[in-house]
Each structure stands twice: as structure tokens, then as C-alpha cells.
Amino acid sequence: MATLKDRIAADLREAMKARDQLRADTLRSALSGFTYKRTEAGVDLTEKDEQDVVRKQVKQRADSAAEFEKAGRRELAEKERREREILLAYLPAQKSPEEVRSAVKAIIAELPQGNRNQGSVMKAAMAQLKDVADGNVVRQIVSDELKN
């Protein structure tokens, strides 16, 4: 089975052939992230490590898009959002907000009454949803559910 890095490298070649500059640049940055992480760790990356690199880049793109939007740079924000979408295709499917909400409700129900605060619920929720839900979505839903 091809690793995430192999799939991205193959898709990079396709993007270069198709002269899709945005896709090629985005995939190059992902491969660069793998190289940096491998050098930093000193060992070959596991599939989970590769997913973590892509996940980090997705988060960086989302944060950058928000900052560009605040600064009134809509064209740069849109570019960041398109790059984020390209990278999201390489991660496992994310849970829908409804699925996250039901998981958060279950977590809140399991916690003792005295421990139902934002910090303890977030800690339990992120332990369970780390790889399948965006942290900002989880935080918002936890906040909403604790108000109810």
C-alpha cells in the first residue's frame, strides 16, 4: 500500500503535468514538511506522523486565511482556503458537526457533575476526536453544550 507521502508525490507529478501551479505548490509544501519532520525526528515517519504534518499544514492554512480575511486581503485568504481543501483530501474524513456534538454530549454525560467545565470536557473530547474533528469546531460545540 502506498504511503501518504507516496500518494502526495504521485499527485504532485500529475499536478505538474497538468500545470496546476496552486496544487503543485501546495503538495510541494507538504513534501517539504515531511522532510523537515523526518530530519527533526531523525527517523522515518510513520503514517500517523505524515498525517500529523498534513493536519498541521491544514490548520496553518485555516489560521492564515482568517488573518488575511481580517486584514482585508480576500484574494490571499481565498488562496489559503483552496490550499487547505487540497490538503484535506489526504486526511481521513472529518466528523460532521452533528457527530461531534453527539460525542461531546456523551463525554459530558460520562463526567462527574463537579468536572463539567470547559477544560476537562475539552481534554476528554480532544483525546477522543483529535484526528477526526477540527479543534475549533470541538471547542465551539463544547462551549455551546456547557451553556445548556
- Contact of 100 with 132, CB cutoff 8 Å: no
The pLDDT of residue 86 is 95
Provide DSSP, 42-103: SSPPPHHHHHHHHHHHHHHHHHHHHHHHHTT-HHHHHHHHHHHHHHHTTSPPPPPHHHHHHH
pLDDT of 62-121, one tens digit each?
A: 999 999 999 999 999 999 999 999 999 998 888 888 888 888 888 888 877 776 778 888
* 120 or 34, higher pLDDT: 34
The pLDDT of residue 132 is 81
Q: What are the φ/ψ torsions at residue 95 (nearest 5 degrees)?
A: -70, 150
Q: What is the pTM of this model?
A: 0.74
The domains found in the chain, sorted by start residue, are 4-88 (1.10.1510.10), 97-147 (no CATH)
Whether pLDDT at 147 is above 90 = no
The pLDDT of residue 93 is 81
Percent of the chain with pLDDT over 70: 98
